[in-house]
Structure 1
Amino acid sequence: MGPTSAPTTATAPSAARAPSAGKAPSSGSGKWCVAKSNASDAALQANIDYVCSSGVDCKPIQSGGACFNPNNVRSHASYAMNAYYQANGRHDFNCDFNRTGVITSTDP
């Protein structure tokens, strides 16, 4: 199970690290994973569920967390998807999420 298949059940990624508070984690490489603008809320929620059950720390997008606002599925999914992407080696395939993610060079 990985981000290229439908995130219905989770398998913990190897060597996952918790994202830093405040912003989605970055490696300094200038690449981030964000939700595609045409991705449905249902697909993005499935991505959040997959990532947050895979060992990635999603506390920053929970109520009271540093990245909770804006409080919408797209923003929370972009945070979660990027956290997964960064924690798993920043490979393009770690941002596919069943074709709902895209790599950007613009810091979200």
Structure 2
Amino acid sequence: RGGGQAEAERARMRRQEEEDRRMAEQLQMQLAMQERDMTMQQRAHAERVAQQQQEEAVERQRMQQMHIQQQRHAFQEQRRREEEAAAESARTSMPQQSAHAQMAR
């Protein structure tokens, strides 16, 4: 009877070890899956961040380009006004010069 009890105890311990091993494998698998999910989430996050930075860079570039165009436009406008003023000044001073020239004669 005592031998049967020892045998039953060993069988119970084997079942327990088997159960523990299965549990450990399952945990290992869950861990591996969690790590994979984390890696995927991190990659997705990194991609979103990169995408956002790319968009911000493009927007900054666009703003700079617009600013440059505005400056160029303002500069051209300024030059046009100066040239008009110079032409106007030349037109108004021309007759005076010829009138002076005639008076001198």
Q: Which has the higher strand share?
A: 1
Structure 1 length as normaliser, TM-score?
0.17
Structure with greater contact order relative to length (CA < 8 Å, sep ≥ 6): 1
Q: Report which of the two structures shows the higher radius of gyration computed on alpha carbons.
A: 2
Q: TM-score, length-normalised on structure 2? A: 0.18
Q: Of Structure 1 and Structure 2, which has the larger fraction of its residues in helix? A: 2
